[in-house]
């Protein structure tokens, strides 16, 4: 039982995700988180501006409840199921991040330089977080899905479009880390 | 009753995302540096089992828990929207270190600045809705 408090290895987490996929399919739904962002737009009244947001949001209520669960799950995971929040990264990754100014690498769950509440006072950090969010939201809807919708659901259903999207995710991610990060940090 | 099931599935998902560190910005960075197997192991094993699950359901025409037929909608055929959209998403995923599931998990874990990322992603989705008829799909 003690193991539950340790970070979960990939061979526990992967099957758990497959289990979540299975459960959602078996209750007649699907696994895709980014469509909730569209539902939230509709709830904010975006239907007045674009037909893309004109749909019955109640048909997606179930997914918003999954999101609520994901928030509660994050609370439970962080407050009751963890004895450490430090992520045991590859030492090379740590020294690499330190050279970018991420001193918290190896000692925290998220970089404090970006995600501590005090980081809200950094103008540069606010710009980067906003930009990151904008790209995630725009890209996910443009591609018609995110990690859950394409990389898990779509690929599990052997969908070629999902493979193209996942290749895109990696082109984008590798470009950001290897080419753009050295310019930003 | 169904609401409670969705909530429990979500809680399971949130705990898994947090405890596996898939919600950690650091793990995403490390993944794109190819310096750890961890994230590849998570996505890879989920995928192998996911393929088994979906193909089994299809092959044996398994009904849902409520006895309904399970329908899988194929993704619309296209190239540009998936590649360009995917690249844009990937840029944001690496920068914010969170995708649309884990970003909510991090709210529960108590990281306030993630709300900025969520707000940004909602605005990003809204911007897509506005320009979608003017960009290649």
Distance of CA B38 to CAs A8, A10, A88, A103, B105, Å?
A: 10, 6, 11, 22, 19
pLDDT tens digit string along B50-75? 999 999 999 999 999 999 999 999 99
Confidence of residue A1 (pLDDT cuts 50, 70, 90): low
Alpha helices in A100-145 (DSSP H): 112-115, 123-143
Q: Identify the DSSP state of A110.
A: S
Nearest neighbour of A41 by CB, restricted to B70, B75, B126: B126
Size of chain A, expressed as the number of residues it contains? 185
Confidence of residue A11 (pLDDT cuts 50, 70, 90): very high
Whether the CB of B115 is below 8 Å from some CB of chain A: the reply is no
Mean pLDDT, range B108-123, rounded to an integer = 98
CB A27 within 8 A of CB B2: yes
Angle at A110 between CA B86 and CA A179, to 5 degrees: 45
DSSP code string of B20-84: TTTT-HHHHHHHHTT--SHHHHHHHHHHHHHHHHHHHHHHTTPPPTTSPPP--PPPPP-SHHHHH
**Mean pLDDT across chain B:** 97
Q: Count other Cβ atoms within 10 Å, centred on residue B69.
A: 9
Nearest neighbour of B82 by CB, restricted to A28, A153, A161: A161
Q: What is the pLDDT of residue A85?
A: 87
Whether the CB of B78 is below 8 Å from some CB of chain A: the reply is yes
Letter string b/e over residues B102-121, b meaning 16 or more CB atoms within 10 A of that residue's CB:
bbbbbbbbebebbebbbbbb
Q: Which two tokens stand for residue A114?
A: 């970006």
């Amino acid at each position: 039982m003690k193991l539950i408090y340790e970070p979960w290895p990939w061979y526990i987490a992967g099957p758990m995700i497959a289990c979540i996929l299975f459960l959602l399919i078996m209750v007649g739904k699907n696994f895709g988180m980014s469509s909730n962002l569209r539902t939230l737009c509709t709830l904010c009244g975006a239907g007045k501006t674009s037909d893309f947001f004109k749909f019955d949001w109640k048909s997606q209520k179930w997914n918003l409840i999954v999101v609520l669960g994901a928030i509660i799950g994050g609370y439970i995971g962080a407050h009751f199921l963890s004895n450490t929040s430090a992520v045991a990264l590859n030492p090379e990754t740590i020294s690499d991040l330190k050279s970018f100014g991420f001193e918290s690498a190896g000692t925290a769950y998220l970089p404090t330089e970006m995600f501590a509440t005090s980081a809200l006072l950094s103008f540069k950090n606010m710009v980067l977080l906003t930009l990151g969010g904008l790209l995630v939201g725009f890209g996910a809807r443009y591609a018609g899905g995110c990690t859950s919708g394409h990389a898990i659901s779509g690929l599990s259903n052997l969908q070629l479009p999902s493979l193209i999207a996942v290749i895109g995710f990696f082109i984008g991610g590798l470009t950001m880390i290897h080419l753009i990060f050295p310019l930003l940090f | 009753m169904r609401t409670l099931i969705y909530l429990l599935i979500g809680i399971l998902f949130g705990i898994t995302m947090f405890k596996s560190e898939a919600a950690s910005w650091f793990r995403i960075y490390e993944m794109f540096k190819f310096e750890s197997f961890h994230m590849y192991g998570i996505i890879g094993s989920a995928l192998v089992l996911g393929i088994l699950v979906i193909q089994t359901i299809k092959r044996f025409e398994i009904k849902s828990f409520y006895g309904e037929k399970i329908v899988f909608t194929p993704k619309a055929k296209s190239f540009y929207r998936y590649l360009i959209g995917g690249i844009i998403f990937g840029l944001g995923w690496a920068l914010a270190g969170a995708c649309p599931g884990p970003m909510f998990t991090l709210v529960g874990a108590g990281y306030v600045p993630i709300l900025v990322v969520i707000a940004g992603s909602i605005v990003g989705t809204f911007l897509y809705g506005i320009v979608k008829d003017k960009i290649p799909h």
